[in-house]
Chain A
Amino acid sequence: MSKRSLIRLVSTLLICAACGYFFIPLSKVRLGLDLRGGVHFELEVQGHEALEADLRDTRDRITERIQDKAITGISVKSDAASVHVEGITPENQPAVTKILSNFGGYAIAEQGSTRILTQKELFKKSLKDDANKRAQQIIENRINQFGVAEPEITPSGAEGNRIIVELPGVGEAERERIKGLLSTPGRLEVRFLSKKQPNLFPVKTEAEALAMLGAQLPEGTELFPELEEESTVVTNQMKAAIRAAKPGEKKADNVRQWVLLESKVYYEGSAITDASRGQDQFNTNTVNFTLNREGADANAKLTEIASNEGRQFAFLLDRKVISVLRSDQKIIGSGVEIKGNFTQQQADDLALKLKSGSLRASMKFLEEQSMGPSLGADSIKHGITAAVIGFGTIIIFMVLWYKWSGLNAIVALTVNLIVMLGLLGSFQATITLPGIAGFALTLGIAVDANILIFERIREELDNGRSVAGAIQMGFDKVFWTIVDSHVTQLFAALLLFIFGTGPVKGFAVSLTVGVVASLFTSIYVSRFIYDWILERHPGTKTLSV
């Protein structure tokens, strides 16, 4: 063997070995959700909710500072887009202005005795970005604590406000529960019930409750609903109960009563360091959590006021009351127990949410897919059958048509297959059902390159060239044709890769990889085999093609 042939042989074998490393054993090849089964969610962070939450926070902080400074006659309100500070007089104006100047993200407009604070664009953007980042982190937390193997959580979308969650092996039965875990912010708040009596309104709508208050909310209070059950977390048992009551219909929210609460928040979920489900002496489910120091101080103050004045306070989750409590004594320490009407699973999920932290905004489900593994197994079976039959037919055809040269093509195809698998493996690409189709098709396209070359060689032989000359001409003349035709296919494949997601991306990856592999094998490997044979039989007069 000449030195040149040896180098080519060794480099081909090396490439094959390197590729083999990436896909042997075959378990290294990752299968897409459509083949192995699982759930896929595409979520959108509702950024406007983060903005609204900040408006409410700002309102509360302004109120707090105004009270600290003992300024009177000022009322602070917020709506969906702004905070209104009303009742400014020439006397209190300097003090109020000083307080407001601390809120740098806000633009302040004067309107008589009112100051209107709106969020600046830059500030809005940073709030939204923050909400997105937090959402990604918290979803990761929640999924990890839920105990799913190999979850994939990837940001997406032009504004970065989308998150794709892929959970292989999770079935339809778990889908609903995970959805509940992902969609709700999980924001815990503790507030006092209003001093004004009555503060509980057993009516269904906020308007009715407001009517009972005489159409006017008392200063510094808000109305919140308390539900019969947490609607976002529905267990199987509850589903059965609901179904029994009203077949085929599920009530979204069933409000038990409206509760009048003070606007001031004593402490929030962010003060929680750990949470778990527990049981009290009556065997009802509770959620226990541990507070950080700040939270523990706030809790001590809260329980002290509650026991001294005989007042009730409420735990709210995502602006819905989950539990109303009173306290007989001041509680010092960091451990808190929430009693509520929880099922075991609800208590678990609530603990998980408290532990993982709260989202700044809720999530909207843009896309939701669950695929059963048995469907995937069927798809694999069908896909592989089709690919193997297609490949087999091509092999038989090539050998019948081109005889020994056909064998050359088969060697090239086999190397092609190895390189394709290797490239797929090294990109850690996932194989999807359309990917299998792409795989089979590129093999068909790869064989095209060989056909082009062989036909050209035949033509040159017919034109009376020597064997060596025909091979030389065949490869040289066809080289640009092959490059051109591969490049156009590469364009299509690359655009698929850019615009596609999920299964389509898998399709695009196998096509791209297949086109690249085909270029290498048809031009380099096939050529090498011919050269090697020519070397061993110099001056041969016939070529089996």
Chain B
Amino acid sequence: MHIFKKLPQFDFMKWKGVALTISWGIIVICFLLARPWSSNSRVKVGMQFTGGIDMMVRFTIPMEADQIRKALQHGGINDAALVNYSSPAGTEDYSIKVKAKQGQDSKDSTIQINKILDVLKSLDPQSKTDPRHDLNTESSLALSEKWYAANLLGLSGDEQSKRATYDGWAGKITEARDIKGSISNYNELPSTLPAPLREMIQKEFRLGHMTVRKNESFSPSISGEWTSKTLSAVFWASVAILLYVMFRFTMSFAVGGIIALLHDILMALGLFVLFGYEFSVPVVASFLILMGYSMADTIVVFDRIRENSHRPEYRRVPITKLINDSINQTLSRTILTSMSVLFVAFCLLVFGGPALRDLSFPIFVGVITGTYSSIYIASPVVVYWDRFFGGKDKLKQHA
């Protein structure tokens, strides 16, 4: 199978002005819409960069976002951002984010976390009517300690061996709890659990309807470091790529490649923000991957331009034809290679769950723009650069 029956003869370079205008236009529009400079900008930044609390909780009872919001406000947490996630039937997943205030220290955030947790626990109607402890939030050590203190199994032997036995059973219970996230029925306790322990649990523990799936907090001081760290990673990656391309090709190619890279990053950034995704450290990582990929794609075209420039038949033709022909010759492989990565990025986007969705979106966008930019951003820049800074002979000399 072939994409093109005959070698395609598109005149790409004829439209380079239009293409450059349109794609940079889109980028400008994206940024005007995103308003990163204003206070009500659409840019969403994760807690890792701003400092704050990021929690994910699951309720196994119906729970409205408004209900949680009101309870949090009542408890004195006014600035929480609440998002409902898709979750299995019968459960409600929420993410709760609270930005840290300036100068907040770790003690404050501990108090704040406990406050939020208390509010969330009180949302479980059972917590008001049933004074028993919640098995779903009980620590396994505390559980084993209770059993040991009462020596429910009537074990004999030294302290250590008794403790080990109770620790083992407590561990089994937390294991059973962890697999499902929470225990919703006493029947779900491990079937091998000795009767006295089971009875004790049924008597002294209720089964709560709220579990914490994730609980993260970042102090403002480290978040500033994260920002500078990730930005410098992006910066040094660009520098390294620029230097390598300069070393392997010529200045004009390096400039073209980097401008195409910038275009891809800005385009992906703009769309990422407009689609309402949130920046996190893994997302920045995926932007770095995008850089690598976009450059790799450009290099395939550049390599062919360089190869063709050595051939006698291109000695006397204008540079636009040289580039046009090179792009056409590599067009089918450019499309195919992009498609294969696009497949994977698409699968991650659709099937990868919420965590991978944020991360695969920039790559998904980046693969598309990366392919396009190799043709319409990188190559025209090579043409323009050569027009201003030297003839095509110079290009050939160095290439």
Contacts and interface: CB of A to CB of B under 8 A. Distances in A.
B217 A345 contact: no
Please classify the interface of chain A as helix (H, G, I), strand (E, B), loop, or mixed, using the class held by over half of its residues: helix
A123 interface: no
B282 A503 contact: yes
B329 interface: yes
A372 interface: yes
B245 to A, nearest CB: 7
Contact of A444 (B105, B137, B345): B345
A524 interface: no
Interface residues of A, number: 94
Interface in A171-188: 171-177, 179, 183
B33 interface: no
Contacts of A487: 244
Interface of B: 1-2, 56, 74-76, 105-107, 109-111, 114-115, 118-119, 122, 133, 137-142, 145, 149, 174, 178-181, 211-219, 221-222, 229-230, 232-233, 236-237, 240-241, 244-245, 248, 281-282, 284-286, 288-289, 291-293, 295-297, 299-300, 303, 307, 329, 332-333, 336-337, 339-341, 343-348, 350-353, 355-356, 359-360, 363
A305 to B, nearest CB: 37
A24 interface: no
B252 to A, nearest CB: 16
A428 interface: no
B119 A248 contact: yes
B292 A489 contact: yes
A344 B105 CA distance: 29
Nearest to B217: A368
Q: Determine which residue in B114, B218, B348 has the highest number of CB atoms from chain A within 10 A of its CB, and name it.
A: B348
A236 interface: yes
Contacts of B348: 386-387, 390, 437, 440-441
Contacts of A171: 139-140, 174, 178
B240 A491 contact: yes
Contacts of A250: 111, 114-115
Interface in A372-422: 372-375, 377-379, 381-383, 385-387, 389-391, 393-394, 397, 400-401
Interface string A483-504: 0111111111101101110011
Nearest to A158: B225
Nearest 7 interchain pairs by C-beta: A382-B353, A492-B292, A485-B296, A173-B139, A489-B292, A374-B181, A444-B344
Contacts of A400: 1
Contact of A386 (B74, B295, B339, B356): B356
A236 B109 CA distance: 19
A383 B356 contact: yes
Please classify the interface of chain B as helix (H, G, I), strand (E, B), loop, or mixed, using the class held by over half of its residues: helix
B359 A385 contact: no
Q: Determine which residue in B141, B291, B296 has the highest number of CB atoms from chain A within 10 A of its CB, and name it.
A: B296
Contacts of B329: 459
A374 B233 contact: no
A174 B213 CA distance: 14
Contacts of B109: 365, 368
A441 B345 CA distance: 7
Contacts of B286: 434, 437, 507
Given A445-B293, A492-B292, A366 B222 contact: yes
Interface in A344-372: 344-345, 364-372
A377 B295 CA distance: 35
Q: Determine which residue in A177, A458, A481 has the highest number of CB atoms from chain B within 10 A of its CB, and name it.
A: A481
Contacts of A386: 347-348, 350-353, 356
B244 A496 contact: no
Given A236-B138, A364-B105, A499 B214 contact: no
A316 B355 CA distance: 47
Nearest to A504: B285
A245 interface: no
Nearest to B333: A455
B285 A500 contact: yes
B168 to A, nearest CB: 12
A477 interface: yes
B205 to A, nearest CB: 12
B219 A367 contact: yes
A460 to B, nearest CB: 12
B289 A390 contact: no
A459 B3 CA distance: 13
Q: Determine which residue in B75, B292, B351 has the highest number of CB atoms from chain A within 10 A of its CB, and name it.
A: B292
Interface string A156-199: 00000000000000011111110100010000000000000000
Given A173-B139, A369-B214, A372-B181, A503 B296 contact: no
B178 A373 contact: yes
B343 A248 contact: no
Given A364-B105, A444-B345, A480 B303 contact: yes
Contacts of A437: 286, 348, 352, 356, 359-360
B184 to A, nearest CB: 13
Contacts of B299: 481, 484-485, 488
Contact of A397 (B240, B340, B346, B356): B340
Nearest to A391: B344
A447 interface: yes
A40 to B, nearest CB: 8
Contact of B216 (A243, A368, A490): A368
A511 B248 CA distance: 23
A83 B141 CA distance: 46
A42 interface: yes
A252 interface: yes
A452 interface: yes
Contacts of A493: 288-289, 292
Given A391-B344, A434-B356, 20 more contacts: A173-B174, A183-B106, A247-B118, A345-B142, A345-B145, A364-B105, A369-B217, A386-B347, A386-B348, A389-B347, A433-B282, A447-B337, A447-B340, A451-B337, A459-B329, A485-B295, A489-B295, A491-B241, A492-B288, A498-B233
Contact of A390 (B137, B229, B344): B344
Contacts of B76: 248-249
A37 B107 CA distance: 24
Nearest to A489: B292
Nearest to B348: A386
Contacts of A371: 213-214
B133 to A, nearest CB: 7
A394 B281 contact: no
Contacts of B229: 499
Contact of A441 (B145, B344, B353): B344
A496 B229 CA distance: 10
17 contacts: A37-B178, A171-B174, A365-B110, A366-B218, A366-B222, A367-B218, A368-B106, A374-B179, A378-B353, A390-B343, A390-B344, A441-B345, A444-B343, A448-B340, A484-B248, A493-B289, A499-B233
